[in-house]
Amino acid sequence: MSAPRSWQRCDDCGHELDELDPRPRCPVCNGLLAIVHATTVSRQTFDQCASPSGVWRFADLVLPTAAPMAVSYPEGNTPLISRSRISDWCGIDELRVKHEGLNPTGSFKDRGMTVGITQAKRIGARAVACASTGNTSASLAAYAAQAGIPALCLVPDGQVTTGKLTQTLAYGARTLLVDGDFDACLRLMQQASVELGVYLLNSINPFRLEGQKTIVFELLRQLDWHAPDWIALPAGNLGNTAAFGKAIDEAMAHGLIDRRPRLAAVQAEHASPFAAAFAREFDQLVPVHADTIATAIKIGAPASYARGVRAIRSTNGVAISVTDAEILAAKGVIDAAGVGCEPASAASLAGVRKLRASGTIRPNESVVAVLTGHILKDSGILQQIHSPQSIAPDSANLPVRIGASVQAIGTLLDSMPIGR
């Protein structure tokens, strides 16, 4: 068998570039680049791989030539969890959540970043950069620190949670607070990366997507390669939706699975240009001024729109929106089950419940909802719950102020339900 080979190809005009070509977009038409692999894999290829990383286990479909020099924490190997409380709430027996918040920096971004930073190192990038709602910057900062590459992050001023900003700064990335939203940051960073020659690691970077595909490969492997009927995920810039679509295509092409799971991309109501376009049969993207408590998906002009459309079409999927109140209600259920996640992640479960209620998902279908970020990513949500304008569910657990006496504790204990 010949050694696996990978290269880059333009989505729009098909122009091909070497795997090590550092240009961020197609030099002919400015289209987005994707990685193509000439290789043959089987389920055993991955079973036999000894890598401790849940990304590099799948190296043959990620970036085979880079595996020996991977900048890896390691990452991935996240659990697929069943909780009756969560499945009962959705009315679906076979519902699992895949907790990507249990990656090293607390979000799924680490899966793309290990590949993106490895590639940056291979091409000798002088610096790496991203625009971010906070999780990408935290991940970029950590992996750049490991690789010893200077990192630059542009984030919307006042719109990134303290935890995410703390991570980004602590790992040593130079962090610029921009007077504008995420979409403005991304426009600026794309321009700056070309003019200043820094390597852009937003999810339009094709190597990022190769890493993010492994969420799907890993969950399929955890299910013994029995594809679920549905995979639901929160959607913002649509990099992850695009990666999931590519992963499903490749899993089918290599015979790893024998049917395609349907993708359900879930957006927040006031940040939902993709769901709106889906409702109009994807006639066109109409960017919006995004607004939602789920800051990680507060994105109004998704950069990977065309790829997102392809992913939904090729999987016979759907794109829907849920309200902030529905997101908080779903988060309440996930948290109360002892699983926990950040608000944006809960959009996937809110979406599953809504699709079940509308009959799109049937009760006997199997579903995996991806939780993209850790519960500690957004502690500011507690202030939201406490505010007079709170839209949190009545069941929200609030702290109780007491006098310092055993009697006061006892009174409170008496008001609590008896343990099961």
Residues at the contact surface with Zn ion, assessed by CB under 5 A? 10, 12-13, 15, 26, 28-29, 31
Q: How far apart are CA 242 and CA 261, in angstroms?
A: 14
Q: Which of 240, 235, 35, 22 is nearest to 139 (CA)?
A: 240
Q: Is the peptide bond before 74 cis (omega within 30 degrees of 0)?
A: yes
235 binding partner (options ligand PLP, Zn ion, none; Cβ < 5 to 8 Å by kind): ligand PLP
Q: How far is the CB of 370 from ligand PLP (least distance, A)?
A: 9
Q: How far apart are CA 308 and CA 314, in angstroms?
A: 10
Q: How far is the CB of 5 from ligand PLP (least distance, A)?
A: 27
* 239 or 317: CB nearest ligand PLP: 239
Q: How far is the CB of 280 from Zn ion (least distance, A)?
A: 27
26 binding partner (options ligand PLP, Zn ion, none; Cβ < 5 to 8 Å by kind): Zn ion
For the purposes of burial, counting CB atoms within 10 Å of the CB of 317, is it exposed (0-12), middle (13-18) or buried (19 or more)? buried
15 binding partner (options Zn ion, ligand PLP, none; Cβ < 5 to 8 Å by kind): Zn ion
* 64 or 267: CB nearest ligand PLP: 267
Residues in the chain: 420
Matching residue, tokens 């009315």: 91
* 67 or 164: CB nearest ligand PLP: 164
Buried b (16+ CB within 10 A) or exposed e, 73-95: bbbbbbebbebeebbebbebeeb
Q: How far is the CB of 9 from Zn ion (least distance, A)?
A: 9
Specify whether the CB–CB gap between 153 and 166 falls below 8 A.
Answer: no
**Where is 207: in which H helix or E strand?**
helix 206-212
Q: Please give the DSSP secondary-structure letter assigned to residue 133.
A: S
31 binding partner (options Zn ion, ligand PLP, none; Cβ < 5 to 8 Å by kind): Zn ion
340 binding partner (options ligand PLP, Zn ion, none; Cβ < 5 to 8 Å by kind): none
* 10 or 153: CB nearest Zn ion: 10
Q: How far is the CB of 178 from ligand PLP (least distance, A)?
A: 16
For the purposes of burial, counting CB atoms within 10 Å of the CB of 321, is it exposed (0-12), middle (13-18) or buried (19 or more)? buried
Q: How far is the CB of 21 from Zn ion (least distance, A)?
A: 13
Work out the angle at residue 149's Cα, subtended by the Cα atoms of residues 148 and 152, and round it to the nearest 5 degrees. 135
For the purposes of burial, counting CB atoms within 10 Å of the CB of 35, is it exposed (0-12), middle (13-18) or buried (19 or more)? buried
Q: How far is the CB of 161 from ligand PLP (least distance, A)?
A: 10
238 binding partner (options Zn ion, ligand PLP, none; Cβ < 5 to 8 Å by kind): ligand PLP
* 64 or 317: CB nearest ligand PLP: 317
For the purposes of burial, counting CB atoms within 10 Å of the CB of 237, is it exposed (0-12), middle (13-18) or buried (19 or more)? buried
For 39-135, strand residue ranges (E) read 80-81, 95-99, 128-131
* 12 or 94: CB nearest Zn ion: 12
Give me the sign of the Cα torsion angle 301, 127, 69, 39. positive
Specify whether the CB–CB gap between 377 and 133 falls below 8 A.
Answer: no
Q: How far apart are CA 357 and CA 42, in angstroms?
A: 38
Specify whether the CB–CB gap between 339 and 285 falls below 8 A.
Answer: no
373 binding partner (options ligand PLP, Zn ion, none; Cβ < 5 to 8 Å by kind): ligand PLP
Matching residue, tokens 């820094």: 198
Q: How far is the CB of 190 from Zn ion (least distance, A)?
A: 16
* 61 or 296: CB nearest ligand PLP: 296
Q: Which residues bind ligand PLP (CB under 6 A)?
A: 107, 133, 135-136, 203, 234-241, 296-297, 342, 344-345, 372-373
Q: How far is the CB of 78 from ligand PLP (least distance, A)?
A: 13
292 binding partner (options ligand PLP, Zn ion, none; Cβ < 5 to 8 Å by kind): none
* 41 or 348: CB nearest ligand PLP: 348
Q: How far is the CB of 197 from ligand PLP (least distance, A)?
A: 25
237 binding partner (options Zn ion, ligand PLP, none; Cβ < 5 to 8 Å by kind): ligand PLP
* 60 or 183: CB nearest ligand PLP: 183
Return the SS3 of 107. Answer: strand
133 binding partner (options Zn ion, ligand PLP, none; Cβ < 5 to 8 Å by kind): ligand PLP
* 67 or 115: CB nearest ligand PLP: 115
